[in-house]
Structure 1
């Protein structure tokens, strides 16, 4: 089973959609990749990696918040999943401070 999840580009506000399993936990959307994390494209197998790398408008259709198709800015942004090691949630190394960060766990 998959669900469609929407993410907003932190650079221009365009909305991208991706089909994924509903049990994947999102940590944040950032303008830079987390050091040492592995990313896949939105059309690749991303359940075994640490997140998804988007290129706004280049990976498929993007819309405004109302759903009207628009052109994206072409800049990369990153969806970071929650990572676990032996059942313990891991923080990014180094932790992300500053820049856009959207925590979905609060």
Structure 2
């Protein structure tokens, strides 16, 4: 097991989850991805497509905005990685500001 940190996409509070190292993270989103199944952060999420984290709950040491956000794991079907199809983008940089 490893302890991994995630930032809330709304307020930036840090949550820490203990999970198996073999799980690959896809992204963290404010809303759930279509057709992804989420487990509770306190339950067994090894067979889930992701985890719902409540910002401000125990995994964030009580700091945060109180809103849920979603950790999404890489998902495969028939040996191919599933595209979430919800416009998940990588980081954007605006150097003109």
TM-score by length of 1: 0.78
Moved over 4 A (4+): none
* Distance in 1 separating the partners of 2:37 and 2:77: 15
Partner of 1:26: 25
Give a deviation string over 1:42-79, Cα, whole Å, max 9, x none: 11111111100011012x142xxxxxx56211001000
**Does the 8 Å CA contact 2:55/2:68 hold for their aligned counterparts?**
yes
> Which consecutive unaligned segments of at least 5 residues does structure 2 have?
92-97
**Does the 8 Å CA contact 1:30/1:101 hold for their aligned counterparts?**
no
1:1-106 matched pairs, under 5 angstroms: 2-58=1-57, 60-62=58-60, 71-92=63-84, 95-97=85-87
> Which consecutive unaligned segments of at least 5 residues does structure 1 have?
63-68
TM-score by length of 2: 0.85
**What number of residue pairs does the alignment pair up?**
91
Quote how far apart the aligned CAs of 1:35 are.
Answer: 1.2
